[in-house]
C-alpha cells in the first residue's frame, strides 16, 4: 500500500504505546544515505567485518581513511522531519521507546529521550585493550594531525559514516593508537560479524512485551538484529506497522505496510494525532 498518513495515524492511535524500530531510511533526508535499495539489495561494497578490523592492520587503515573523509558530514547532520515526528510521539506518550539501527545519534539530537542505539554510536571511540573512551571529534583531530595528506571531505558518503577514498591513499594512513595504553581504537559501533550485547537485546524484548504494538520506520529489516524483534512481536500477537520504501523482511508479519519514504508519511500522520 502506498502513502496513506490517515491509516498510519489510525494504527498509532489504536495500538499505543508503541515500540518504534528505525533504520537508515529515517536518516536519508538528513543527507546520510541508506544501505539498501528498494529490493533490499546492498548498494555498496562489502561492509567491514568485525574480525577483520580487530585482526588486520590494513582493515583498520581502510576504515579510518574512509571515516576521516566521511565523519564531517555525519557530525554536521541535523534531525529531519521524521526525527521530529518521532519526538512528538514520545511527547504525546504514544511511543514508549525508539530502537534504532542507526549510529548517527540524530534521534537524540532531536530531543528524543527513550532511545536504544542497537548498533552503538559513531560519535564515540573506545580502546579494545584498556576500554578508555574518547570522542569521535578528538579522534578526527588526531587523524588529521597525523595524516595531512588525506582528504577530509567527500562527495560520496556511506550510511555508516565512511566515504570513498582513493586506494593509493589508504595504505599510507597512520592510524592513531590509544594514548593510554597503545591499544587498538575502534568506533563504538557493532560491525558486521559483531554482536549486540545480550543485555541490550533483553531490554528491547522486555519493552516490546510491555507495548501494544510495533512501528517500523525506514528499515528493510534485512539484518537479524532488528528483524528478531518483529518476529517476537508477531509471535506475541502484537500488531506491526511498517513504513518503508521497498520490501522488508517482515512484510508478511505486518498488520499495515506502507511502501513509501517515511518523511512523506510519518510527519503528516503525527500531525493528525497532535491536532485532534
In what side-by-side order are the strands of the sheet with 133-135? Answer: 133-135, 120-127, 185-189
40: region left, alpha or beta (phi > 0 left; psi from -120 to 50 alpha): left
Residue 119 bears catalytic tag: yes
Residue of 50, 119, 132, 149 with catalytic role: 119
The secondary structure of the chain, three-state, reads: CCCCHHHHHHHHHHCCCEEEEECHHHCHHHCCCCCECCCCCECCCCCCEHHHHHHCHHHHHHHHHHHHHHHHHHHHCCCCHHHHHHHHHHHCCCEEEEEECCCCCHHHHCCCCCEEECCEEEEEEEECCCCCEEEHHHHHHHHHHHCCCCCCCCCCECCCCCECCCHHHHCCCCCCCCCCCCCCEEEEECCECCCCCHHHHHHHHHHHHHCCEEEEECCCCCCHHHHHHHHHHHHCCCCEEEECCCCCCCHHHCCEEECCCHHHCHHHHHHHHHCC
Residues 6+ apart with CB under 8 A from 147: 68, 172, 173, 174
Q: Cite the active site residues.
A: 119
Amino acid at each position: 500500500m502506498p502513502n496513506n498518513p490517515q491509516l498510519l495515524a489510525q494504527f498509532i492511535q489504536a495500538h499505543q504505546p508503541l515500540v518504534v524500530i528505525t533504520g537508515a531510511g529515517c536518516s536519508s533526508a538528513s543527507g546520510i544515505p541508506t544501505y539498501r535499495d528498494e529490493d533490499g539489495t546492498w548498494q555498496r561494497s562489502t561492509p567491514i567485518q568485525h574480525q577483520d578490523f580487530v585482526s588486520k592492520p590494513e582493515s583498520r587503515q581502510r576504515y579510518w581513511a574512509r571515516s576521516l573523509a566521511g565523519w564531517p558530514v555525519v557530525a554536521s547532520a541535523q534531525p529531519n522531519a521524521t526525527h521530529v515526528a518521532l519526538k512528538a510521539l514520545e511527547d504525546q506518550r504514544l511511543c514508549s521507546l525508539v530502537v534504532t539501527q542507526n549510529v548517527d545519534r540524530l534521534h537524540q539530537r532531536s530531543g528524543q529521550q527513550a532511545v536504544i542505539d542497537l548498533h552503538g554510536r559513531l560519535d564515540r571511540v573506545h580502546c579494545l585493550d584498556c576500554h578508555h573512551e574518547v570522542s569521535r571529534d578528538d579522534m578526527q583531530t588526531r587523524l588529521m594531525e597525523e595524516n595531512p595528506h588525506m582528504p577530509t571531505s567527500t562527495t560520496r558518503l556511506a550510511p555508516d559514516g565512511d566515504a570513498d577514498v582513493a586506494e593509493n591513499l589508504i595504505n599510507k594512513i597512520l592510524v592513531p593508537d590509544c594514548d593510554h595504553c597503545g591499544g587498538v581504537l575502534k568506533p563504538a559501533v557493532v560491525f558486521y560479524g559483531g554482536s549486540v550485547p545480550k543485555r541490550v537485546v533483553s531490554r528491547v524484548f522486555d519493552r516490546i512485551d510491555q507495548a501494544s504494538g510495533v512501528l517500523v520506520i525506514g528499515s528493510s529489516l534485512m539484518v537479524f538484529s532488528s528483524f528478531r524483534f518483529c518476529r517476537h512481536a508477531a509471535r506475541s500477537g502484537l500488531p506491526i506497522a511498517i513504513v518503508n520504501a521497498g520490501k522488508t523482511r517482515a512484510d508478511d508479519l505486518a498488520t499495515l505496510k506502507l511502501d513509501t519514504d517515511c518523511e512523506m508519511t510519518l510527519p503528516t500522520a503525527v500531525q493528525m494525532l497532535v491536532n485532534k
